[in-house]
Structure 1
Amino acid sequence: MRGPGVRAALALMTVMLLAGCAALPEVDRGDAAQRAFEERSERLAAIETWRLVARLGLDTEREYWSAQLNWRVQEGTHILDLSGPMGRGGGRLTLAEGQPARLVTRDGEHHSARDPDALAQRLTGDAIPVSGMVYWVRGLPDPARPFEHEVDAEGRPIRIRQAGWEIEYGEYEEFDGESMPVRMELQRDELTLRAVIRQWQMGDGSA
């Protein structure tokens, strides 16, 4: 059970994360919106190099924590620098296709697991969907799993339901010619993960 101080801090952080969040756009179930969604998905999935900077907040039955995240992707390798959660001191999480997920904490500890979800579960005790986030953070469904979705007139997801998670997108902004999520919330059972993305870079930035 959270004490008054923890609850107050949680309330403050929630306000910070959601401050200024615009009302969700109207769902468009027309064929044109669905085609726009498919075209957007294909276009974003083809971008192999990207980077984001975000603030995360995770609320579970037991506790609340927040973290800063710098996530960059190049040639199929994902490098996530976190300050906060994994091992509670932060560290660098490296994901590469066909290889175990690896974390090096700021204290120099090394951890690995068969996949990023198993590693996050072991270190935090919570089922954090890192593998799904690889897609969801860009407003894409994981192509390997069934999903349901709702989109706006521009084909941008308003909600994606996949693997027991509901992902709600509260706001988009344009970066490098693409409309990218800047506020999102993921929910499953008693776990809520919020992300406020302050910066996107699509491509290698050399153009």
Structure 2
Amino acid sequence: MIRHLALAMLLAFTAVAGCTRIQLDPLPEGMTDQPPENWAERTRQVTDFDRWVLSGKMAVRQPSDSGTAVINRWQQYGNEYELSLSSSFLGMGTTRIEGSPGFIELTLSNGDVYQSGNPEQLISQATGWQLPVQSLVWWMRGLPAPEGRHRLLFDQKNRLAILEQDGWEIRYDRWRTFVDDLPELPARITAIKDDKRVRVVIASWRRED
């Protein structure tokens, strides 16, 4: 159950100047690695958007498991988060996840609580995956994490189409205006690594003051 729960957290949870890009050649057809003129300003605005609430759903496809789950509520306060997930396929009912850099607490529907001072290690032990947990909050907003090599690819409409970082390929399938004073935010995201595929569809996203 913990293995499945950690997987659910990955689904729910996902350019800073001076980061090193991953050089790959050739570029996919119709893509460019040259950011649009407004990219720096968009990066600033979305980086500052670090207190928010969203809801949505997710789908998982991997060799051992496939299914869907609901993101009832994901509340972000800077580097701290509270997440409520529910899924019959995961066999976990409604589960709460609370965390901050270097700490995570999982509370299952039966009241069992699991804590770790190393979120990456907990997920690795539960799933066998090496995951950059702290990067996910950046990827969800359409930004690379501040640390680590990355590559950004933009489509013909000057939208971020693909973000590659830490062995993951994050595809931004759909964008939407959720908050009036912000640029468009991701509305559908597909994350791929080896034979694992995770899709997140965001139904609502609002600022939390």
2:92 equivalent in structure 1: 88
Write the letter of the residue equivalent to 2:49: I
Offset of residue 66 of structure 1? 1.7
Counterparts of 1:130 and 1:89 in 2: how far apart (Å)?
23
2:136 alignment partner, one of 120, 133, 138: 133
TM-score (norm 1): 0.75
Counterparts of 1:124 and 1:109 in 2: how far apart (Å)?
18
Counterparts of 2:205 and 2:100 in 1: how far apart (Å)?
21
Counterparts of 1:41 and 1:149 in 2: how far apart (Å)?
13
Write the letter of the residue equivalent to 2:70: Q
1:150 equivalent in structure 2: 153
Offset of residue 75 of structure 1? 4.5
Contact persistence 2:153–2:163 (CA under 8 A) = yes
1:36 aligns with 2:41: no
Deviates more, 1:179-188 or 1:99-108: 99-108
1:105 equivalent in structure 2: 108
Counterparts of 2:129 and 2:69 in 1: how far apart (Å)?
15
TM-score (norm 2): 0.74
Write the deviation string for residues 76-132 of structure 1: whole angstroms up to 9, x where unpaired.
3111111137773341111123x4111111111111223333333444555565432
Deviates more, 1:80-89 or 1:107-116: 80-89
CA separation of 1:49/1:86 partners in 2, compared to 1, >3 Å: closer, same or farther? farther
1:162 aligns with 2:165: yes
Which of the pair is proportionally richer in helix? Answer: 1
Counterparts of 1:67 and 1:127 in 2: how far apart (Å)?
22
* 1:175 alignment partner, SS class: coil
1:185 equivalent in structure 2: 190
Contact persistence 2:97–2:105 (CA under 8 A) = yes
Structure 1 segments, 4+ long, off by >6 Å, are none
Counterparts of 1:51 and 1:122 in 2: how far apart (Å)?
29
CA separation of 1:190/1:55 partners in 2, compared to 1, >3 Å: closer, same or farther? same
Deviates more, 1:50-59 or 1:154-163: 154-163
Write the letter of the residue equivalent to 2:191: L
Write the letter of the residue equivalent to 1:159: I
Counterparts of 1:154 and 1:42 in 2: how far apart (Å)?
20
1:116 aligns with 2:109: no
Unaligned runs of 5+ in 2: 1-29
Deviates more, 1:183-192 or 1:60-69: 60-69
1:65 equivalent in structure 2: 67
Higher RCO structure, 1 or 2 (CA under 8 Å, sep 6+): 2
Counterparts of 1:125 and 1:113 in 2: how far apart (Å)?
16
Note the aligned Cα RMSD (angstroms).
2.4
Matched length: 176
